[in-house]
Amino acid sequence: MKDYLEQVLRFPRHLLGFVDEKKGDLPAIFIDKKEEKNCLQFFFGYSDVIADFTNPYYNCEKAVEGAIDILWDGESVTTHAVEYLLENRYLPDVYNDPVLNGCCSPEQKRKDIDFLMRFWRRENY
């Protein structure tokens, strides 16, 4: 990842020390087109819950247990990133979490998710 950031995105390598500080947590990179500043975002510890066919780290068992965590973690993952993942169906396991009512339609669950994110994230929403 460091080579990609340095060679392709021209990110200065001396600014990539934060990756080593995460002690093995796999990073996800998100380029937020809606942000005027800080467009390049990194979040750690959620690679195994992102259900993308190009993501070799996706783990169905871990995603069932931990996908809901990405909703409340406004310090690590921006709201724009979570919304993008939800809109593009990269977090399908979150819809099966017991926190959400199992009798609701996917549309209602999406509204419930939005409500929970506003509540949990507060000023980071």
**What is the tens place of the pLDDT at every residue in 31-51?**
888 888 878 888 888 999 999
DSSP run (H or E) holding 19: helix 17-21
* pTM score over 0.75: yes
Residue 58 domain boundaries = 2-124
Total domains in the chain come to 1
Q: How far apart are CA 64 and CA 99, in angstroms?
A: 12
pLDDT for res 23: 66
Q: What is the average pLDDT across 11-17?
A: 84
Identify the residue with better confidence: 86 or 14.
Answer: 86
